[in-house]
């Protein structure tokens, strides 16, 4: 009888989610939106994370993120090949914050877009560390608001996953427009 009651207790426990860990970054960590779009993040080098966006059809994008947050290179893809002329690069100064929590970084960035060099002013506002739930997984997270002043105040809201070292896009907002929100329903390790 004790065996039966013990088994019933174990069966009533919630199923533990198979959540990725920071060690999975070498193979990749994939986030899936409610609409099926995916973003996959990979450890690229000491301070750089590689990202791959796929819209579920033949198009997407690839990008490199300095400190897992700041885009330093991006290009669009079609059939998993780079689209000629879509590459954009950004150069951030070396004085990026060493801690992404409760701080603000106002910075001038040099960009190269279709052969033209531009100076862009950006503000990155980092909130207090909190937690975010993706699917059945709970992670430490710092909310980030990025404001692109030279793009008429265009804003992005990001969630920086502290233990993984990358930020994913939660919202995009053009001035005087309703925001576009992204609803991630699953996070998983690739090829675990």
pLDDT at 89: 96
pLDDT at 4: 46
CB 188 within 8 A of CB 20: yes
Using the predicted structure, report yes or no on whether residue 12 has a pLDDT greater than 80: no
DSSP per-residue codes, the chain:
-HHHHHHHHHHHSPPPP----GGGGGT-EEEEETTS-EEEEEEEETTEEEEEEE-SSSEEEEEEEETTTEEEEEEEEETTEEPTT--EEEE--S---SS-SSEEEEEEEEEEETTEEEEEEEEEEE---EEEEETTEEEEEEEEEEEEGGGTTEEEEEEEETTTTEEEEEEEE-TTSPPEE--EEEEEETT-
Q: How far apart are CA 147 and CA 139, in angstroms?
A: 25
pLDDT at 7: 44
Q: How far apart are CA 33 and CA 46, in angstroms?
A: 28
* Residues 134-190 pLDDT 10s: 999 999 999 999 999 988 889 999 999 999 999 999 999 998 899 999 999 999 999
* Residues 153-162 pLDDT 10s: 899 999 999 9
Q: How far apart are CA 125 and CA 113, in angstroms?
A: 25
User: What global pTM score does this model have?
Assistant: 0.87
pLDDT at 17: 67
Average pLDDT of the residues in 29-42: 96
User: Which of the pair, 24 or 95, is modelled with greater confidence?
Assistant: 24
* Residues 47-86 pLDDT 10s: 899 999 999 888 899 999 999 999 999 999 998 889 998 9
Q: How far apart are CA 92 and CA 111, in angstroms?
A: 9
Domains of the chain: 17-189 (2.40.360)
User: Which of the pair, 95 or 60, is modelled with greater confidence?
Assistant: 60
pLDDT at 192: 58
């Amino acid at each position: 009888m004790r065996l039966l009651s013990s088994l019933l207790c174990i069966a009533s426990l919630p199923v533990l989610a198979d959540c990725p860990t920071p060690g999975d970054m070498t193979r990749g960590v994939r986030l899936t939106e409610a609409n099926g779009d995916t973003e996959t993040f990979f450890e690229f080098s000491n301070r750089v994370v590689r990202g791959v966006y796929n819209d579920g059809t033949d198009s997407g994008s690839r990008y490199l993120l300095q400190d897992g947050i700041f885009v330093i290179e991006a290009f669009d893809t079609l059939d998993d090949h780079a689209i000629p002329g879509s590459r954009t690069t950004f150069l951030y100064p070396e004085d990026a914050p060493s801690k992404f929590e409760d701080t603000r970084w106002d910075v001038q960035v040099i960009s190269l877009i279709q052969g033209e060099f531009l100076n862009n002013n950006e503000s990155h506002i980092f909130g207090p560390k909190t937690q975010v739930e993706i699917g059945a997984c709970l992670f430490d997270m710092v909310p980030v608001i990025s404001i692109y002043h030279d793009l008429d105040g265009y804003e992005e809201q990001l969630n920086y996953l502290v233990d993984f070292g990358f930020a994913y896009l939660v919202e995009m907002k053009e001035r005087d427009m309703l925001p576009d929100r992204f609803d991630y329903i699953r996070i998983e390790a690739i090829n675990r």
